[in-house]
Amino acid sequence: MEAAGYYAGPSAPPAPAPVAVVSPQFCAPFVVPLTVTKKALSFSGGDFTVTDANAAVVLQVHGTCFSVRSHRVLHDAAGRPILTMQAKVFSMHRTWKVFRGDSTAANALLFTVKKASVFQLKTKLDVFLAGNNTDHLCDFRIKGNYFDRSCTFYRGNSNIMIAEMKRKLTLPNVLLGMDTFSVTVFPQVDYVFIAALVVILDEIHRDDRSR
């Protein structure tokens, strides 16, 4: 209760609910800037390195050369597998399923990513958590223009942003032909989850270009 004549001022806005899709340990209370670099020369075509603001490697993604399906494994800096990403064969919506660790078992499924519509002029991907059995109420959405390497990540169909991605141009990367993305992960958002979405975003559009 306030004392007479005392004004407490406006109450602080509530803290955002954590977006801990992979693990709460990957949610920081501050903005996390990441750089995602795609290796120019790769037998699998799907090798990525994720670095932090100090240019230290925090995540790496490796593809599998001889897999019938597109198959990517995301590792931590020590080489331990965190996520396995696998493309669905013959999917018009370019669907990818993401599993915990190095498993592809149904009980290890964390989320699914797919194009919101088969034909698109601009980028729109829907993300469904494993417990979401609908095909139209997504938990997260990616919108933007991938060809400009500019996309925003949202909670569901809302305008609540959880991350942003933009092209990052540096002379060494341009000379070496490497695609580099600057990714801003908002506070209390799982940065491993966002890094995985950036990789899948690139894979889906690379697949579209190849067809």
Residue 8 falls inside a structural domain: no
Residue 3 falls inside a structural domain: no
Nearest to 142 by CA among 183, 109, 92, 101: 183
For the cut 60, the answer to whether the pLDDT of residue 2 exceeds it is no
Nearest to 37 by CA among 152, 147, 169, 210: 169
Complete DSSP assignment for 102-129:
T---GGGEEEEEEESSSS-SSEEEEEEE
Residue 65 falls inside a structural domain: yes
Q: Is 177:200 a contact under the CB 8 Å cutoff?
A: no
Residue 18 falls inside a structural domain: no
137 — pLDDT class (breaks 50, 70, 90): very high
| CA-to-CA dists, residue 34 to 10, 106, 114, 121, angstroms | 34, 30, 23, 27
Provide the pLDDT for residue 174.
56
pTM of the model: 0.85
Nearest to 198 by CA among 165, 167, 173: 165
Across residues 192-206, what is the average pLDDT? 91
Range of the domain at 189: 28-210
**Looking at the 3D structure of the chain, how many domains does it have?**
1
The residue ranking higher by pLDDT, 176 or 197, is 197
We report the CATH number of the domain holding residue 56 as 2.40.160.200
Q: Is 82:192 a contact under the CB 8 Å cutoff?
A: yes
Tokens for 86?
A: 């696998």
What three-state secondary structure class fits 36?
strand
Residue 4 falls inside a structural domain: no
Residue 9 falls inside a structural domain: no
The residue ranking higher by pLDDT, 123 or 118, is 123
Provide the pLDDT for residue 84.
96
Residue 110 falls inside a structural domain: yes
For the cut 90, the answer to whether the pLDDT of residue 74 exceeds it is yes
Cβ-defined contacts of 109-117 (< 8 Å, 24+)? 110/21, 110/22, 110/83, 111/21, 111/139, 111/193, 113/197, 113/200, 113/204, 115/204, 116/141, 117/93
